[in-house]
Structure 1
Amino acid sequence: MRICDPYEKAAGVSALRDCVRKGGAYWYPERRFVLTGAAHGTDEARGQGDANAFEAGIPGRPAAPVLVSPRELKQRAVTTTEGRAALLHALTHIEFNAINLALDALWRFDGLPVAYYDDWLQVAAEEAYHFSLLAAHLKTLGDDYAYGCFPAHDGLWDMARRTSGDWLARLALVPRTLEARGLDASPPIRAKLASAGDKDGAAILDIILRDEIGHVAIGNRWYRWGCERLGVEPVATYARLAAQYGAPRLRGPFNLAARRAAGFDDDELAALQAGE
């Protein structure tokens, strides 16, 4: 989680996933990890979410890209090489953030079933694969283009910060909201790349959409498990958590087929569309 180099982190996540699969590493869900709080000079137990950990080098991130407000990001035409590079860079940054989000879901929350940790390690490894595909493709556009060459924003990680102390909110508002938004955004982005003649980029988007459906499905499954354990109704609870933590209001068009494949039921899709 603390590794800053994105390529080293991606490789490390994949190696850890393979190690767990082969029985070389095991989960201890009852054991609470302890973070040495370099920023505060104390040992900060993560427990069910320790917001201070975000100020103590979690997650590890490279010096570049520079993180700015979304309003400061320059819009570029995808028909130009620079514009296509900027779009691919934004996607690469999303996937790097997604690695950190999956890892954070692993280490921050204790005492859950082993299957939960297996699921999110698999998600982290697939996000690492997506990052590697996009980062390599970005470099094919020219020597000036590599991950970190454009500024980026921190919207995904901001929601992780807000929900650091609430496991159910994390599931509701990261995989089921922000990452599910990627299911809606993927087809039009793919179409942009294809229209610009970038067949390889479009093919990478196909891989990402396929895998992201599975990631959102994992979020849905564990969210419903949590709701059942707490004895709360999923749709009403989602609305409460979205309001409590300031989740963005989602607007269509929605990729309803992908959302159904990811496990959203008719009631959830109706609530989503009613909230436009």
Structure 2
Amino acid sequence: MFANRRVLVAVVAAFALIFALGVGWLVRTAAADDPTSTSADTSTSSSSSSSDSGSDTADGSVPQDDLALPDSESDTDTDTGQPDSGEGGEEPGTTDDNNEAPRPAKTVRVNGPQGGGAMEDSCRFFVNQFSVTMKVKKVFLNGADDGLYRAAGHCPLSTNPELPSGSKPCSTATRLDTSEGCYTGVQLEKELRRGDGENEGEPKKYEARVTVVFGGVCESANGAPCSEESVAREKPSGSRPVPVEWKATTEVLVVYGKSEAEKSSPSPSASASVSASASASASPSPET
């Protein structure tokens, strides 16, 4: 009798244990399949992602420095012309937690020829000696005397054999492939220019410089200027090109204008006109 009761108690305990385990498994499965829980997790994840994204937007991408110079006829850029150090701020090209596209690299100032090749006193030319195509971004007068303006139509193309064939004036958007060149110069306002044969007195000298800003893109660290340390450390690639900028300034350009004596004396044409007018007023009118 007692043996049968012990067996019965053992069987009931076993069934109770199995029942408890089954209930626990069902509760865990229901919690895993609960759409409310999934939605809450997704909302929490989305909120966290949005917070991270907002932080990135607030910090901002690395700016495209120096992508445009002041639109003026004089050089107001106080930059020393040395390559950017690349120090400070978040390293460009890093990606955020959402694996978005890399941030654009900042523009890097590179070293290039200065002064320009000689053509005549008032003109100079520049040649693209880099391995990438360069485009003129800006051209402006730099420290010019009054009466001078930029002009290249008078520049001679045959005075210097180093001027590449097919060179064109340096103007905004002019593209120069490797070994191609462009030229620039200054001219004096017409009323200040010396006339033919007028050599009385010492001519007045007018001076100016012209600055040309060229821009290009490096997609690797091979060849100048992409091999420069300031560019190579940005790790340029096809998916993350690095903009580069070459700022070139001519030697002093000189134009000679009228002397003070020429400015004060009337021109031959003006003198002839005055004489003719005086003669006409002095001659008697015919009698009627």
TM-score by length of 1: 0.19
> Rg larger in 1 or in 2?
2
Please identify which structure carries the higher strand content: 2
TM-score by length of 2: 0.18
